Amino acid sequence: MSIDINNESGTEVDEQAILDIARFALDRMRIHPLSELSLIVVDAEAMEALHIQWMDEPGPTDVMSFPMDELRPGKEDEELPQGLLGDIVLCPEVATAQGKANGHSMDAELQLLTVHGVLHVLGYDHEDPDEEREMFGLQKRILDDWRAERGETGPSPAPTTR
């Protein structure tokens, strides 16, 4: 799996953990190992510009996803297509505030947001209650399983993104 991370934010983040959780989520979703994903970490000003440009909403947001080849999760008995998954943009300034409000670190919030972004590039959404239950349930399972593999204990951060 080719996953690139580019930190343009000026904030130190745990890039290895972000890469690891992204890879774990993509493996869990059965995405072809030769597929590509780009992760970009930006400051609040750059995130606000993207938020206005693409969502017509003011202010910075926590995560934005830009799917490319519309790859979807693979099934057990099918050959997996490969391609460009797209870009996930993360904002540590927003993640810091959200993490603090929910009793966890910026890095834990960025890990949650990375999984959230991966699910969005794979076609998941949370516009209606059924979609939200499915997406946030899957997000929690992926985070819990990843943390368990790393020997971390305690609950995963609650979903904070809408």
Distance between CA 6 and CA 81 in Å, rounded?
Answer: 26
Ligand-binding annotation for 116, yes or no, is yes
Ligand-binding annotation for 120, yes or no, is yes
Q: What is the mean pLDDT of the chain?
A: 91
Domain limits, the chain: 2-149
Helices within the chain (DSSP H only): 15-28, 44-55, 92-101, 106-121, 129-149
Q: How confident is the model at residue 155 (pLDDT cuts 50, 70, 90)?
A: low
Torsion of CA 3, 12, 156, 151, to 10 degrees: 80
Distance between CA 33 and CA 58 in Å, rounded?
Answer: 37
What is the model's pTM?
Answer: 0.91
pLDDT at 81 over 80: no
Mention the CATH class of domain 2-149: alpha beta
Distance between CA 32 and CA 68 in Å, rounded?
Answer: 15
Digit-coded pLDDT (tens) for 125-147: 999 999 999 999 999 999 999 99
- Work out the percent of the chain whose per-residue pLDDT is above 90: 79
Mean pLDDT of the region 99-103: 93
Distance between CA 103 and CA 76 in Å, rounded?
Answer: 37
Q: What is the pLDDT of residue 159?
A: 59
Distance between CA 70 and CA 49 in Å, rounded?
Answer: 24
